[in-house]
Amino acid sequence: MQYQVDDLKLKCIQYFIKKTTVKNAIEQLILADLVSSENLKSHCIKYICDNADCVIKTESWKSMKNDAKTYAHLLAELFEVFANYIKSDD
């Protein structure tokens, strides 16, 4: 039974990765954190960095920012990756 649950989780993660958009990237990042999916989490962080100019205009970003205490660890991870991301463009 455990293998079936793990397989289902993997299929869901793969689905979410394929369906990532500017509008849902933040929600998916939060979901990835909640279900401890490093694969989805790293995908979302990269997607957010690649599309930062659009993502920061979304309601999801504004909500996350407004609840910074709850999401401090995710915001810190995003900041760290984005800082390295910018350096690699130089």
Over residues 14-42, the pLDDT tens digits come to 999 999 999 999 999 999 999 999 999 99
Half-sphere exposure of 88 (CA within 13 A, CB side): 8
Domains and CATH numbers, the chain: 2-89 (1.25.40.420)
Structure token pair of residue 73: 């660890």
- 10 pLDDT exceeds 70? yes
Residue indicated by tokens 């659009």: 54
pTM of the full structure: 0.88
Instruction: Quote the CA–CA distance of 76 and 90 in Å, as a whole number.
Output: 22
- 89 pLDDT exceeds 70? no
Q: How confident is the model at residue 1 (pLDDT cuts 50, 70, 90)?
A: low
